[in-house]
Structure 1
Amino acid sequence: MAEQASFTIDSPGGPREVTLTYERAGAGEPLLLLHGIGHHWQAWQPVLPILAAERDVIAVDLPGFGSSPALPEGLAYGLSSVVPVLDAFCRHLGIGRPHVAGNSLGGLLALELGREKLVRSVTALSPAGFWTQAERRYAFGTLLAMRQGARALPLPLIERLSRSAVGRTALTSTIYAHPGRRSPEAVVAETLALRNATGFRQTLDAGRDVQFRDDIPEVPVTVAWGTRDRLLVRRQGVRAKQILPGARLVRLPGCGHVPMHDDPALVARVVLDTSR
Protein backbone atom coordinates (compact mmCIF):
# COMPACT_ATOMS: atom_id res chain seq x y z
CA MET A 1 0.00 0.00 0.00
CA ALA A 2 1.19 3.50 -0.85
CA GLU A 3 2.25 5.72 2.04
CA GLN A 4 2.54 9.46 2.56
CA ALA A 5 5.45 11.49 3.91
CA SER A 6 5.13 15.06 5.18
CA PHE A 7 8.19 17.23 5.76
CA THR A 8 9.19 20.88 5.86
CA ILE A 9 11.16 22.72 3.20
CA ASP A 10 12.38 26.31 3.05
CA SER A 11 10.76 28.75 0.64
CA PRO A 12 11.16 32.48 -0.05
CA GLY A 13 8.11 33.00 2.18
CA GLY A 14 9.37 30.81 5.01
CA PRO A 15 9.08 27.11 5.87
CA ARG A 16 6.38 25.15 4.02
CA GLU A 17 5.09 21.63 4.58
CA VAL A 18 5.15 19.31 1.58
CA THR A 19 3.42 15.93 1.38
CA LEU A 20 4.34 13.22 -1.13
CA THR A 21 2.75 9.83 -1.77
CA TYR A 22 5.09 6.92 -2.43
CA GLU A 23 5.29 3.16 -2.75
CA ARG A 24 8.22 1.32 -1.16
CA ALA A 25 9.32 -2.26 -1.70
CA GLY A 26 12.37 -4.49 -1.52
CA ALA A 27 15.70 -4.30 0.29
CA GLY A 28 19.23 -3.22 -0.57
CA GLU A 29 20.69 0.07 -1.68
CA PRO A 30 17.98 2.74 -2.07
CA LEU A 31 16.61 3.48 -5.53
CA LEU A 32 14.30 6.44 -6.15
CA LEU A 33 11.92 6.23 -9.15
CA LEU A 34 10.52 9.39 -10.77
CA HIS A 35 7.66 9.39 -13.30
CA GLY A 36 6.90 11.80 -16.14
CA ILE A 37 4.51 14.72 -16.39
CA GLY A 38 0.86 13.77 -15.99
CA HIS A 39 1.70 10.27 -14.78
CA HIS A 40 1.94 8.72 -11.30
CA TRP A 41 4.20 6.32 -9.40
CA GLN A 42 2.32 3.38 -10.92
CA ALA A 43 4.20 4.07 -14.17
CA TRP A 44 6.93 1.93 -12.59
CA GLN A 45 4.72 -1.01 -11.57
CA PRO A 46 5.89 -3.36 -14.37
CA VAL A 47 9.54 -3.08 -13.28
CA LEU A 48 9.09 -2.59 -9.55
CA PRO A 49 9.12 -6.30 -8.58
CA ILE A 50 12.30 -6.90 -10.59
CA LEU A 51 14.06 -3.90 -9.08
CA ALA A 52 12.85 -4.71 -5.56
CA ALA A 53 14.65 -8.06 -5.71
CA GLU A 54 17.95 -6.12 -5.43
CA ARG A 55 17.06 -2.62 -4.25
CA ASP A 56 15.09 -0.72 -1.62
CA VAL A 57 12.79 0.89 -4.18
CA ILE A 58 10.87 4.11 -3.55
CA ALA A 59 8.48 5.12 -6.34
CA VAL A 60 7.10 8.58 -5.63
CA ASP A 61 4.25 10.71 -6.95
CA LEU A 62 5.83 14.03 -7.84
CA PRO A 63 4.25 17.16 -6.29
CA GLY A 64 0.88 17.85 -7.89
CA PHE A 65 0.70 14.45 -9.60
CA GLY A 66 -0.91 11.15 -8.68
CA SER A 67 -1.95 11.26 -5.04
CA SER A 68 0.60 13.89 -4.01
CA PRO A 69 -0.96 17.28 -3.21
CA ALA A 70 0.05 20.40 -5.05
CA LEU A 71 3.05 22.32 -3.80
CA PRO A 72 2.15 24.86 -1.12
CA GLU A 73 1.97 28.55 -1.93
CA GLY A 74 5.43 30.04 -2.27
CA LEU A 75 6.98 27.00 -3.98
CA ALA A 76 7.21 26.94 -7.77
CA TYR A 77 7.31 23.85 -10.00
CA GLY A 78 10.70 24.54 -11.56
CA LEU A 79 13.84 22.48 -11.05
CA SER A 80 15.12 24.88 -8.40
CA SER A 81 12.14 24.02 -6.18
CA VAL A 82 11.32 20.39 -7.02
CA VAL A 83 14.90 19.08 -6.72
CA PRO A 84 15.24 20.34 -3.10
CA VAL A 85 11.81 18.84 -2.36
CA LEU A 86 13.02 15.43 -3.58
CA ASP A 87 16.25 15.76 -1.61
CA ALA A 88 14.29 16.65 1.53
CA PHE A 89 11.97 13.69 0.89
CA CYS A 90 14.93 11.31 0.71
CA ARG A 91 16.44 12.73 3.88
CA HIS A 92 13.05 12.43 5.60
CA LEU A 93 13.01 8.72 4.71
CA GLY A 94 16.61 8.37 5.90
CA ILE A 95 17.92 7.05 2.60
CA GLY A 96 20.78 9.51 2.10
CA ARG A 97 22.06 9.56 -1.48
CA PRO A 98 19.94 7.03 -3.37
CA HIS A 99 20.35 5.76 -6.88
CA VAL A 100 17.73 7.41 -9.07
CA ALA A 101 15.90 6.47 -12.25
CA GLY A 102 13.51 8.81 -14.00
CA ASN A 103 11.39 8.94 -17.14
CA SER A 104 10.73 12.08 -19.19
CA LEU A 105 10.24 14.89 -16.63
CA GLY A 106 11.49 12.39 -14.05
CA GLY A 107 14.58 11.81 -16.18
CA LEU A 108 15.34 15.53 -16.21
CA LEU A 109 14.88 15.67 -12.43
CA ALA A 110 17.14 12.63 -12.04
CA LEU A 111 19.88 14.31 -14.07
CA GLU A 112 19.54 17.49 -12.02
CA LEU A 113 19.83 15.45 -8.81
CA GLY A 114 23.01 13.96 -10.28
CA ARG A 115 24.35 17.37 -11.24
CA GLU A 116 23.85 18.48 -7.63
CA LYS A 117 25.65 15.30 -6.41
CA LEU A 118 22.57 14.28 -4.40
CA VAL A 119 22.44 10.72 -5.79
CA ARG A 120 24.79 7.77 -6.33
CA SER A 121 23.84 7.04 -9.94
CA VAL A 122 21.39 8.28 -12.57
CA THR A 123 19.34 6.37 -15.12
CA ALA A 124 17.40 8.78 -17.36
CA LEU A 125 14.81 7.23 -19.70
CA SER A 126 13.89 9.63 -22.53
CA PRO A 127 14.67 12.64 -20.33
CA ALA A 128 13.29 16.08 -21.08
CA GLY A 129 15.67 18.97 -21.67
CA PHE A 130 17.63 17.89 -24.78
CA TRP A 131 15.17 19.24 -27.32
CA THR A 132 15.32 21.97 -29.94
CA GLN A 133 12.69 24.66 -29.55
CA ALA A 134 10.66 23.08 -32.35
CA GLU A 135 10.84 19.67 -30.68
CA ARG A 136 9.83 21.19 -27.35
CA ARG A 137 6.83 22.95 -28.89
CA TYR A 138 5.75 19.70 -30.53
CA ALA A 139 6.07 17.76 -27.26
CA PHE A 140 4.24 20.40 -25.22
CA GLY A 141 1.48 20.66 -27.81
CA THR A 142 1.05 16.88 -27.76
CA LEU A 143 0.95 16.81 -23.96
CA LEU A 144 -1.65 19.58 -23.86
CA ALA A 145 -3.79 17.71 -26.39
CA MET A 146 -3.54 14.53 -24.29
CA ARG A 147 -4.53 16.48 -21.20
CA GLN A 148 -7.49 18.13 -22.95
CA GLY A 149 -8.64 14.77 -24.25
CA ALA A 150 -8.42 13.19 -20.78
CA ARG A 151 -10.43 16.06 -19.30
CA ALA A 152 -13.07 16.02 -22.05
CA LEU A 153 -13.86 12.29 -21.96
CA PRO A 154 -16.48 11.22 -19.43
CA LEU A 155 -15.42 8.40 -17.11
CA PRO A 156 -17.87 5.81 -18.56
CA LEU A 157 -16.38 6.39 -22.03
CA ILE A 158 -12.80 6.06 -20.71
CA GLU A 159 -13.78 2.78 -19.05
CA ARG A 160 -15.45 1.52 -22.21
CA LEU A 161 -12.46 2.43 -24.39
CA SER A 162 -10.08 0.75 -21.97
CA ARG A 163 -11.79 -2.60 -22.42
CA SER A 164 -10.53 -3.07 -26.00
CA ALA A 165 -7.04 -3.01 -27.49
CA VAL A 166 -8.22 -0.45 -30.06
CA GLY A 167 -9.56 1.80 -27.29
CA ARG A 168 -6.38 1.48 -25.23
CA THR A 169 -4.41 2.41 -28.34
CA ALA A 170 -6.56 5.50 -28.83
CA LEU A 171 -5.96 6.56 -25.23
CA THR A 172 -2.25 5.81 -24.79
CA SER A 173 -0.47 5.20 -28.12
CA THR A 174 1.42 8.51 -27.83
CA ILE A 175 3.51 7.20 -24.94
CA TYR A 176 3.54 3.42 -25.46
CA ALA A 177 4.78 1.38 -28.40
CA HIS A 178 2.46 -1.47 -27.37
CA PRO A 179 -0.60 0.18 -25.81
CA GLY A 180 -2.79 -2.85 -26.35
CA ARG A 181 -0.76 -4.74 -23.72
CA ARG A 182 -1.82 -2.37 -20.95
CA SER A 183 -4.54 -3.58 -18.61
CA PRO A 184 -7.90 -1.77 -18.74
CA GLU A 185 -7.55 -0.82 -15.07
CA ALA A 186 -4.11 0.73 -15.61
CA VAL A 187 -5.28 2.73 -18.63
CA VAL A 188 -8.25 4.14 -16.72
CA ALA A 189 -6.05 5.02 -13.73
CA GLU A 190 -3.38 6.80 -15.76
CA THR A 191 -5.95 8.68 -17.85
CA LEU A 192 -7.52 9.96 -14.62
CA ALA A 193 -4.05 10.78 -13.26
CA LEU A 194 -3.43 12.95 -16.32
CA ARG A 195 -6.85 14.59 -16.01
CA ASN A 196 -6.56 15.34 -12.30
CA ALA A 197 -2.90 16.41 -12.08
CA THR A 198 -2.98 19.69 -10.18
CA GLY A 199 0.64 20.46 -11.05
CA PHE A 200 0.37 19.83 -14.79
CA ARG A 201 0.07 23.37 -16.14
CA GLN A 202 2.57 24.91 -13.74
CA THR A 203 5.11 22.17 -14.50
CA LEU A 204 4.65 22.63 -18.24
CA ASP A 205 5.04 26.40 -17.91
CA ALA A 206 8.21 25.95 -15.82
CA GLY A 207 9.71 23.78 -18.55
CA ARG A 208 9.42 26.25 -21.42
CA ASP A 209 12.97 27.56 -21.01
CA VAL A 210 14.59 24.38 -19.68
CA GLN A 211 17.66 23.09 -21.48
CA PHE A 212 20.04 20.64 -19.81
CA ARG A 213 23.57 21.86 -20.60
CA ASP A 214 25.93 20.54 -17.90
CA ASP A 215 28.06 17.44 -17.70
CA ILE A 216 27.76 15.23 -14.60
CA PRO A 217 31.26 14.03 -13.70
CA GLU A 218 31.90 11.53 -10.91
CA VAL A 219 28.36 10.09 -11.01
CA PRO A 220 27.53 7.04 -13.16
CA VAL A 221 24.92 8.12 -15.74
CA THR A 222 22.94 6.13 -18.27
CA VAL A 223 20.67 7.79 -20.81
CA ALA A 224 18.29 5.36 -22.51
CA TRP A 225 15.91 6.09 -25.39
CA GLY A 226 13.13 4.02 -26.93
CA THR A 227 13.48 3.55 -30.66
CA ARG A 228 9.73 4.17 -31.02
CA ASP A 229 9.49 7.26 -28.81
CA ARG A 230 6.88 9.50 -30.46
CA LEU A 231 6.99 12.30 -27.89
CA LEU A 232 10.70 13.05 -27.42
CA VAL A 233 12.32 11.71 -30.57
CA ARG A 234 15.41 9.54 -30.12
CA ARG A 235 17.86 11.92 -31.82
CA GLN A 236 17.66 13.86 -28.56
CA GLY A 237 19.62 10.99 -27.02
CA VAL A 238 22.54 11.81 -29.31
CA ARG A 239 22.48 15.39 -28.04
CA ALA A 240 22.39 14.09 -24.47
CA LYS A 241 25.51 12.03 -25.15
CA GLN A 242 27.31 15.11 -26.51
CA ILE A 243 26.48 17.07 -23.36
CA LEU A 244 27.22 14.10 -21.08
CA PRO A 245 30.26 12.50 -22.76
CA GLY A 246 30.89 10.13 -19.85
CA ALA A 247 27.35 8.78 -19.88
CA ARG A 248 26.32 5.44 -21.31
CA LEU A 249 23.79 5.85 -24.15
CA VAL A 250 21.47 2.84 -24.54
CA ARG A 251 18.91 2.06 -27.23
CA LEU A 252 15.66 0.46 -26.10
CA PRO A 253 14.47 -1.42 -29.20
CA GLY A 254 10.73 -1.42 -29.77
CA CYS A 255 10.03 0.86 -26.79
CA GLY A 256 8.02 4.06 -26.69
CA HIS A 257 8.30 7.12 -24.50
CA VAL A 258 7.36 5.24 -21.31
CA PRO A 259 9.46 2.11 -21.85
CA MET A 260 8.80 0.50 -18.46
CA HIS A 261 5.59 -0.97 -19.90
CA ASP A 262 6.91 -1.90 -23.33
CA ASP A 263 9.89 -3.96 -22.11
CA PRO A 264 10.03 -4.23 -18.29
CA ALA A 265 12.90 -6.72 -18.23
CA LEU A 266 15.14 -4.59 -20.45
CA VAL A 267 14.43 -1.38 -18.50
CA ALA A 268 15.03 -3.09 -15.17
CA ARG A 269 18.35 -4.44 -16.43
CA VAL A 270 19.44 -0.98 -17.60
CA VAL A 271 18.56 0.56 -14.22
CA LEU A 272 20.25 -2.19 -12.21
CA ASP A 273 23.38 -2.17 -14.39
CA THR A 274 23.74 1.58 -13.81
CA SER A 275 23.20 1.29 -10.06
CA ARG A 276 25.80 -1.48 -9.79
Structure 2
Amino acid sequence: MTGWQTHSAVGIEYLERPGEGPALVLLHGIGSQAASFTPLLPFLAPELRVIAWNAPGYGGSDPLAQDWPVAADYSRALERFLDALALPRVMLLGHSLGALMAASFAAARRERVARLTLAAPALGHGVPRGGQLSSAAQSRIDDLERLGAAALAEARAARLVHAPEQNPEALELVRAGMSRVTLPGYGQAARMLASGRLLDDAERLSVPTDVIVGAEDRVTPPDGARRAHDALRAAARGRFTLLPEAGHALYQQAPARFAAALELTPEPAA
Protein backbone atom coordinates (compact mmCIF):
# COMPACT_ATOMS: atom_id res chain seq x y z
CA MET A 1 0.00 0.00 0.00
CA THR A 2 2.40 2.63 -1.27
CA GLY A 3 2.50 5.87 0.68
CA TRP A 4 0.57 4.66 3.75
CA GLN A 5 1.76 3.74 7.20
CA THR A 6 -0.56 1.67 9.40
CA HIS A 7 -1.06 2.68 13.02
CA SER A 8 -3.53 2.31 15.87
CA ALA A 9 -4.69 4.69 18.61
CA VAL A 10 -7.47 4.41 21.21
CA GLY A 11 -8.83 1.29 19.54
CA ILE A 12 -8.89 2.84 16.06
CA GLU A 13 -6.76 1.47 13.24
CA TYR A 14 -5.77 4.10 10.71
CA LEU A 15 -3.60 4.74 7.68
CA GLU A 16 -1.35 7.78 7.53
CA ARG A 17 0.75 9.46 4.89
CA PRO A 18 3.05 11.73 6.89
CA GLY A 19 3.37 15.35 5.90
CA GLU A 20 4.57 18.62 7.37
CA GLY A 21 1.46 20.57 6.37
CA PRO A 22 -2.14 20.64 7.59
CA ALA A 23 -3.89 17.40 8.48
CA LEU A 24 -6.64 16.03 6.25
CA VAL A 25 -8.74 13.33 7.92
CA LEU A 26 -10.76 10.98 5.70
CA LEU A 27 -13.87 9.10 6.84
CA HIS A 28 -15.05 6.24 4.61
CA GLY A 29 -18.57 5.00 3.93
CA ILE A 30 -20.58 2.02 5.15
CA GLY A 31 -19.32 -0.58 2.69
CA SER A 32 -15.74 0.59 2.61
CA GLN A 33 -12.54 1.00 4.64
CA ALA A 34 -9.57 3.33 5.08
CA ALA A 35 -7.65 1.80 2.16
CA SER A 36 -10.39 2.87 -0.25
CA PHE A 37 -8.73 6.29 -0.33
CA THR A 38 -5.51 4.87 -1.80
CA PRO A 39 -6.30 5.98 -5.41
CA LEU A 40 -6.74 9.55 -4.15
CA LEU A 41 -3.38 9.76 -2.40
CA PRO A 42 -1.16 10.58 -5.44
CA PHE A 43 -3.37 13.55 -6.30
CA LEU A 44 -3.19 15.22 -2.89
CA ALA A 45 -0.50 17.82 -2.20
CA PRO A 46 2.60 16.05 -0.83
CA GLU A 47 2.87 18.38 2.17
CA LEU A 48 -0.54 17.35 3.51
CA ARG A 49 -0.63 14.98 6.44
CA VAL A 50 -3.31 12.53 5.30
CA ILE A 51 -5.07 10.27 7.80
CA ALA A 52 -7.78 7.72 6.91
CA TRP A 53 -9.42 5.88 9.78
CA ASN A 54 -11.08 2.53 9.80
CA ALA A 55 -14.34 3.50 11.45
CA PRO A 56 -15.30 1.72 14.68
CA GLY A 57 -16.01 -1.92 13.86
CA TYR A 58 -14.10 -1.81 10.55
CA GLY A 59 -10.70 -3.33 9.84
CA GLY A 60 -8.72 -3.50 13.06
CA SER A 61 -10.84 -0.89 14.85
CA ASP A 62 -12.87 -1.79 17.92
CA PRO A 63 -16.66 -1.58 17.49
CA LEU A 64 -18.68 0.92 19.47
CA ALA A 65 -20.29 -0.14 22.74
CA GLN A 66 -23.79 0.74 21.50
CA ASP A 67 -25.64 -1.82 19.40
CA TRP A 68 -27.55 1.06 17.77
CA PRO A 69 -25.23 4.07 17.70
CA VAL A 70 -26.17 7.47 16.31
CA ALA A 71 -23.91 9.87 14.43
CA ALA A 72 -22.93 11.63 17.66
CA ASP A 73 -21.47 8.36 18.99
CA TYR A 74 -19.11 8.17 16.02
CA SER A 75 -18.40 11.88 16.49
CA ARG A 76 -17.27 11.23 20.06
CA ALA A 77 -15.08 8.35 18.86
CA LEU A 78 -13.54 10.70 16.31
CA GLU A 79 -12.85 13.30 19.00
CA ARG A 80 -11.05 10.72 21.15
CA PHE A 81 -9.08 9.65 18.11
CA LEU A 82 -7.99 13.18 17.19
CA ASP A 83 -7.09 13.86 20.83
CA ALA A 84 -4.86 10.77 20.84
CA LEU A 85 -3.10 12.02 17.70
CA ALA A 86 -2.72 15.50 19.25
CA LEU A 87 -4.62 17.09 16.37
CA PRO A 88 -6.51 20.12 17.70
CA ARG A 89 -7.76 21.22 14.27
CA VAL A 90 -8.06 19.37 10.96
CA MET A 91 -9.61 19.47 7.53
CA LEU A 92 -12.28 16.78 7.51
CA LEU A 93 -13.75 14.82 4.60
CA GLY A 94 -16.58 12.34 4.98
CA HIS A 95 -17.86 10.12 2.18
CA SER A 96 -21.43 8.79 2.21
CA LEU A 97 -22.02 7.45 5.75
CA GLY A 98 -18.77 9.17 6.72
CA ALA A 99 -20.45 12.48 5.84
CA LEU A 100 -22.97 11.88 8.64
CA MET A 101 -20.09 11.33 11.08
CA ALA A 102 -18.14 14.34 9.79
CA ALA A 103 -21.12 16.72 9.90
CA SER A 104 -22.02 15.61 13.43
CA PHE A 105 -18.47 16.25 14.59
CA ALA A 106 -18.15 19.62 12.84
CA ALA A 107 -21.51 20.79 14.19
CA ALA A 108 -20.52 19.94 17.77
CA ARG A 109 -16.81 20.86 17.60
CA ARG A 110 -16.60 23.74 15.14
CA GLU A 111 -13.28 24.95 16.55
CA ARG A 112 -11.64 21.67 15.55
CA VAL A 113 -12.58 21.73 11.85
CA ALA A 114 -10.76 24.08 9.50
CA ARG A 115 -12.81 22.98 6.49
CA LEU A 116 -15.40 20.28 5.90
CA THR A 117 -16.11 18.29 2.72
CA LEU A 118 -19.24 16.19 2.36
CA ALA A 119 -18.70 13.76 -0.53
CA ALA A 120 -21.73 11.87 -1.89
CA PRO A 121 -23.41 12.56 1.46
CA ALA A 122 -25.91 10.10 2.90
CA LEU A 123 -28.81 12.05 4.39
CA GLY A 124 -29.92 9.27 6.73
CA HIS A 125 -33.43 7.92 7.18
CA GLY A 126 -34.45 9.73 10.39
CA VAL A 127 -35.58 6.61 12.31
CA PRO A 128 -35.54 7.06 16.12
CA ARG A 129 -32.92 4.94 17.86
CA GLY A 130 -34.48 1.56 18.63
CA GLY A 131 -37.35 2.08 16.18
CA GLN A 132 -38.26 0.11 13.07
CA LEU A 133 -35.31 -0.08 10.71
CA SER A 134 -35.91 1.11 7.18
CA SER A 135 -36.05 -1.73 4.68
CA ALA A 136 -32.83 -0.49 3.07
CA ALA A 137 -30.93 -0.57 6.36
CA GLN A 138 -32.36 -3.92 7.44
CA SER A 139 -31.54 -5.51 4.09
CA ARG A 140 -27.88 -4.52 4.48
CA ILE A 141 -27.62 -6.44 7.75
CA ASP A 142 -29.69 -9.37 6.50
CA ASP A 143 -27.64 -9.67 3.29
CA LEU A 144 -24.35 -9.74 5.19
CA GLU A 145 -25.63 -12.36 7.63
CA ARG A 146 -27.18 -14.46 4.86
CA LEU A 147 -24.66 -14.10 2.05
CA GLY A 148 -21.36 -13.27 3.74
CA ALA A 149 -19.16 -10.31 2.86
CA ALA A 150 -17.78 -11.62 -0.44
CA ALA A 151 -21.23 -12.35 -1.87
CA LEU A 152 -22.57 -9.06 -0.48
CA ALA A 153 -19.81 -7.22 -2.36
CA GLU A 154 -20.51 -9.18 -5.54
CA ALA A 155 -24.18 -8.23 -5.34
CA ARG A 156 -23.81 -4.56 -4.41
CA ALA A 157 -20.48 -3.20 -5.70
CA ALA A 158 -21.50 -2.49 -9.30
CA ARG A 159 -24.19 -0.05 -8.16
CA LEU A 160 -21.50 2.23 -6.69
CA VAL A 161 -19.61 2.66 -9.99
CA HIS A 162 -20.85 4.50 -13.05
CA ALA A 163 -20.67 2.25 -16.14
CA PRO A 164 -18.95 -0.55 -14.18
CA GLU A 165 -18.28 -2.61 -17.30
CA GLN A 166 -16.14 0.28 -18.58
CA ASN A 167 -14.42 0.86 -15.22
CA PRO A 168 -13.26 -2.57 -14.06
CA GLU A 169 -10.44 -1.23 -11.87
CA ALA A 170 -12.77 1.01 -9.89
CA LEU A 171 -15.28 -1.81 -9.61
CA GLU A 172 -12.65 -4.16 -8.23
CA LEU A 173 -11.52 -1.58 -5.66
CA VAL A 174 -15.10 -1.17 -4.44
CA ARG A 175 -15.70 -4.91 -4.40
CA ALA A 176 -12.46 -5.60 -2.50
CA GLY A 177 -13.31 -3.06 0.20
CA MET A 178 -16.89 -4.23 0.62
CA SER A 179 -15.80 -7.85 0.87
CA ARG A 180 -13.99 -7.02 4.13
CA VAL A 181 -16.92 -5.66 6.12
CA THR A 182 -17.84 -7.58 9.26
CA LEU A 183 -20.35 -7.64 12.07
CA PRO A 184 -20.94 -6.01 14.49
CA GLY A 185 -19.39 -2.92 12.87
CA TYR A 186 -21.43 -3.08 9.68
CA GLY A 187 -24.65 -3.61 11.59
CA GLN A 188 -23.91 -0.67 13.87
CA ALA A 189 -23.20 1.51 10.84
CA ALA A 190 -26.44 0.42 9.15
CA ARG A 191 -28.43 1.36 12.24
CA MET A 192 -26.68 4.72 12.41
CA LEU A 193 -27.59 5.29 8.76
CA ALA A 194 -31.20 4.51 9.62
CA SER A 195 -31.22 7.10 12.41
CA GLY A 196 -29.12 9.70 10.59
CA ARG A 197 -30.41 13.24 10.03
CA LEU A 198 -27.71 15.01 8.01
CA LEU A 199 -29.87 17.98 7.12
CA ASP A 200 -30.34 18.80 10.81
CA ASP A 201 -26.58 18.87 11.36
CA ALA A 202 -26.04 20.81 8.11
CA GLU A 203 -28.24 23.61 9.44
CA ARG A 204 -26.03 23.80 12.56
CA LEU A 205 -22.71 23.97 10.72
CA SER A 206 -20.69 27.17 10.93
CA VAL A 207 -17.45 25.95 9.34
CA PRO A 208 -16.77 26.32 5.59
CA THR A 209 -18.41 23.28 3.99
CA ASP A 210 -18.11 21.98 0.44
CA VAL A 211 -20.30 19.31 -1.15
CA ILE A 212 -19.16 17.01 -3.98
CA VAL A 213 -21.28 14.38 -5.70
CA GLY A 214 -21.07 12.22 -8.79
CA ALA A 215 -23.51 13.17 -11.53
CA GLU A 216 -24.32 9.47 -12.02
CA ASP A 217 -24.59 8.55 -8.33
CA ARG A 218 -27.50 6.12 -7.84
CA VAL A 219 -26.87 5.54 -4.13
CA THR A 220 -26.87 9.13 -2.87
CA PRO A 221 -28.18 11.00 -5.92
CA PRO A 222 -27.23 14.61 -6.69
CA ASP A 223 -30.59 16.00 -5.55
CA GLY A 224 -29.86 14.83 -2.00
CA ALA A 225 -26.40 16.41 -2.09
CA ARG A 226 -27.97 19.64 -3.33
CA ARG A 227 -30.43 19.55 -0.42
CA ALA A 228 -27.50 19.20 1.99
CA HIS A 229 -25.74 22.16 0.39
CA ASP A 230 -28.90 24.27 0.44
CA ALA A 231 -29.40 23.48 4.14
CA LEU A 232 -26.09 25.11 5.04
CA ARG A 233 -26.10 28.58 6.51
CA ALA A 234 -24.86 31.21 4.10
CA ALA A 235 -21.67 31.69 6.13
CA ALA A 236 -20.86 27.98 5.94
CA ARG A 237 -21.89 27.35 2.35
CA GLY A 238 -18.84 26.49 0.27
CA ARG A 239 -18.69 25.05 -3.22
CA PHE A 240 -21.10 22.56 -4.71
CA THR A 241 -19.41 20.33 -7.30
CA LEU A 242 -21.11 17.85 -9.62
CA LEU A 243 -18.56 15.43 -11.08
CA PRO A 244 -19.65 14.20 -14.52
CA GLU A 245 -19.37 10.51 -15.38
CA ALA A 246 -18.82 9.52 -11.75
CA GLY A 247 -20.94 7.33 -9.50
CA HIS A 248 -21.11 6.92 -5.75
CA ALA A 249 -17.50 5.72 -5.41
CA LEU A 250 -16.37 8.97 -7.00
CA TYR A 251 -12.92 9.28 -5.39
CA GLN A 252 -12.08 5.77 -6.58
CA GLN A 253 -13.59 6.17 -10.03
CA ALA A 254 -12.28 9.68 -10.73
CA PRO A 255 -9.54 10.41 -8.16
CA ALA A 256 -7.77 13.15 -10.14
CA ARG A 257 -10.99 15.06 -10.81
CA PHE A 258 -12.16 14.52 -7.25
CA ALA A 259 -8.89 15.88 -5.85
CA ALA A 260 -9.08 18.88 -8.19
CA ALA A 261 -12.55 19.66 -6.81
CA LEU A 262 -11.35 19.72 -3.21
CA GLU A 263 -10.73 23.01 -1.45
CA LEU A 264 -7.84 22.17 0.85
CA THR A 265 -6.89 25.60 2.10
CA PRO A 266 -7.74 25.67 5.82
CA GLU A 267 -9.75 28.65 7.02
CA PRO A 268 -7.94 30.67 9.74
CA ALA A 269 -9.03 29.84 13.25
CA ALA A 270 -11.57 32.28 14.64
* Band the TM-score falls in, shorter-chain normalisation: 0.7 to 0.9
Instruction: Tell me whether 1:107 sits opposite 2:94 in the alignment.
Output: no
Which one of 50, 53, 58 corresponds to residue 57 of structure 1? 50
Secondary structure in structure 2 of the residue aligned to 1:231: coil
* Distance in 1 between residues matched to 2:228 and 2:159, nearest whole Å: 22
Q: What is the TM-score when the length of structure 2 is the normalising length?
A: 0.79
Instruction: Tell me whether 1:209 sits opposite 2:200 in the alignment.
Output: no
1:34 shift after superposition: 0.3
Distance 1:94 1:132, change over 3 A: closer
Aligned to 2:87: 95
- Residue type at the aligned position of 1:202: Q
* Distance in 2 between residues matched to 1:234 and 1:171, nearest whole Å: 20
* Distance in 2 between residues matched to 1:275 and 1:64, nearest whole Å: 30
Gaps of 5+ in 2: 128-132
Distance 1:75 1:151, change over 3 A: closer
1:249 shift after superposition: 1.5
Which one of 227, 251, 258 corresponds to residue 239 of structure 1? 227
- Residue type at the aligned position of 1:191: M
199-208 or 21-30: bigger deviation: 199-208
Aligned to 2:130: none
Deviations 1:85-129 (A, max 9, x none): 111111111121110111001111111222121311101101112
Paired-residue identity, % = 27
- Residue type at the aligned position of 2:26: L
Distance 1:245 1:266, change over 3 A: farther
* Distance in 2 between residues matched to 1:234 and 1:184, nearest whole Å: 21
Aligned to 1:176: 161
Aligned to 1:151: 148
* Distance in 2 between residues matched to 1:205 and 1:228, nearest whole Å: 26
The within-5 A match list for 1:185-264 is 186=173, 189-194=176-181, 196-212=182-198, 213-214=200-201, 215-246=203-234, 247=237, 248-264=239-255
Secondary structure in structure 2 of the residue aligned to 1:182: helix
- Aligned residue pairs, count: 249
Q: What is the TM-score when the length of structure 1 is the normalising length?
A: 0.78
Secondary structure in structure 2 of the residue aligned to 1:49: helix
* Distance in 2 between residues matched to 1:80 and 1:24, nearest whole Å: 24
Which one of 5, 13, 28 corresponds to residue 35 of structure 1? 28
Distance 1:210 1:188, change over 3 A: closer
Question: Does the 8 A contact of 1:30 with 1:58 survive in 2?
Answer: yes
